[in-house]
Structure 1
């Protein structure tokens, strides 16, 4: 199946940062179960979410860059309705609202930020650090097909599976996207050794998903790790590295276990983070999607943008 190429293949695009950690630690907003989708249940939450995205839109406008708007739906797949105290129908409605918010922001900013891509964010069924019980590919496809369809029908330009900890779940999401004929990116969580939490190498994960879907995913990303944890992995010269097009790194050099135990946010060294992004992009210019993950906020992405887009 051939899809129209995404603009991030032709130029660098910014994306956002660690939405959930920003809301909780920087803005003092409680997010039960780390679920930013609940922001859409109140006027105050919607205002906070729009203000968050407007910061990145303003940055992209200043830098003359495009932007990928990633929906606040990372923890909004069917299993989370019960823990969040809502029905499946309400959760579906909030998924649609999350896309609508981004579409309206795109309309408001118009041609001042171009291109703007609205991406439907799909998180893991379980935890973003711990693979837990690993589903079969078939179960993963069946589970994620529901949210994928809701996001695509709401008008998302693409889907992105973020913080994927294992290969079968990544394949399942990509298969669900292929059934809908929607472009999909897969972003893998890696540990301090550059491997997935399952122990699989990043190269094996990318290759396995590509082989299972005849290369259907548009590209792959790395998330939830400091660049120092995965930079060497990208430098092995293997063919699969050309499929990595995005980085959403953590601010901190700490391990996932250390981050889970923290009661205060580790914002890391922003200048160092930006310099590492610049160095990785210099060696791998095909990496065009630049954003952040846990512990990062607009300040980090600003530093990254200034280091990578002005150089």
Structure 2
């Protein structure tokens, strides 16, 4: 089944799987050149689409094996106006790519959905600037205006949901949630944190989530943490609080290195897939509502399989 009529809030504690680290896998494992770390240009060529197909099918197959649903991302993390301009794509071209990305994902999901798997086609939105540093700071209203065209393209193409991935400060995240609500799309907000468990902006995870909820009348279906190792945020979650119920997903890095160290790395640090799986299990044992499970930088099918083996 597809997720077109599924309310994300009604999924409760149902497990949903995601992929691993798309861009790091393509660059370091497949040897593909991704200028500005952007995967979306691959959609414009048959060979590129085939590479994306192969990458995502391995994760869909893992979800199929374990009998869980899957959140299928569009490869559009960099497909916003600022990055598009750097890469030579106009706003009109970006809108076309966003819509093509949803159609591509829907076609890839079709055989799995036909077998009864819940597959949610997820329009991915990245930060306006760098994913590790706060650069241009927007108000929620400015961020809503900036990201509105991409959200609209996803909605027009029939995406099931929109996720803001690797958000570095709360105001931009709130703007994306507002834009999604205005387009009638369910949204998910995923923050990244530094080794001290705080956002690159210096905000605590608690404050960032509560700020977004206050600014948007709790519009996001749920929140996630991504692009950080579990050791970076374990203590934050252990601190407790009602806000933790809003965190439903984790997409951790394979490596325990800091963002600065990863940014300067010339080789991939795959960490320890088995240890990562154990950490997810410990987290699930304590917070059973954290049920959207996947990976980020440095993770591949080994890590996702280890997470499934440990948790499912």
TM-score category of the 2 structures, normalised to the smaller one:
over 0.9
The DSSP-based 3-state class of the residue aligned with 1:265 is coil
In the other structure, the counterpart of 1:100 is: 103
Structure 2 CA distance for aligned equivalents of residues 196 and 272 of structure 1: 24
Residue 231 of structure 1 deviates from its aligned partner by: 1.1
Matched with 1:234 is 237
SS of 1:278 mapped into structure 2: helix
Alpha-carbon RMSD across the aligned residues, in angstroms, is 1.2
Is contact 2:13–2:289 with CA below 8 Å preserved after alignment?
A: no
Equivalent residues in 2 for 1:151-170 (5 A)? 151-170=154-173
TM-score (norm 2): 0.96
1:87 to 87, 90, 95: 90
Q: CA deviation at 1:113?
A: 5.2
In the alignment, does 2:181 pair up with 1:178?
Answer: yes
Q: Which runs of 5+ in 1 are unaligned?
A: none
Alignment partner, residue 64 of structure 1: 67
What is the TM-score normalised by the length of structure 1? 0.96
- 1:26-73 superposed Cα distances (whole Å, 9 cap, x missing partner): 001111100000111211100000111111111111111110001101
Q: 1:141 to 1:55 in 2, by over 3 A?
A: same
Q: Does 1:52 align with 2:45?
A: no
The residue correspondences of 1:278-297 to structure 2 (distance < 5 A) are: 278-297=281-300
Alpha carbons of structure 1 residues 19 and 217: separation in structure 2 relative to 1, 3 Å? same
Describe the superposition over 1:55-104 as per-residue Cα deviations: whole angstroms up to 9, x where unpaired. Answer: 11111111111100011010001222221122222222111111111100
1:207 matched to 2:215: no
The more displaced of 205-214 and 251-260 is 205-214
Residue 256 (1) aligns with residue 230 (2): no
**Among candidates 27, 31, 38, match of residue 28 of structure 1:** 31
Aligned pair 1:5/2:39, yes or no?
Answer: no
Contact 1:274 1:307 (8 Å CA) reproduced: yes
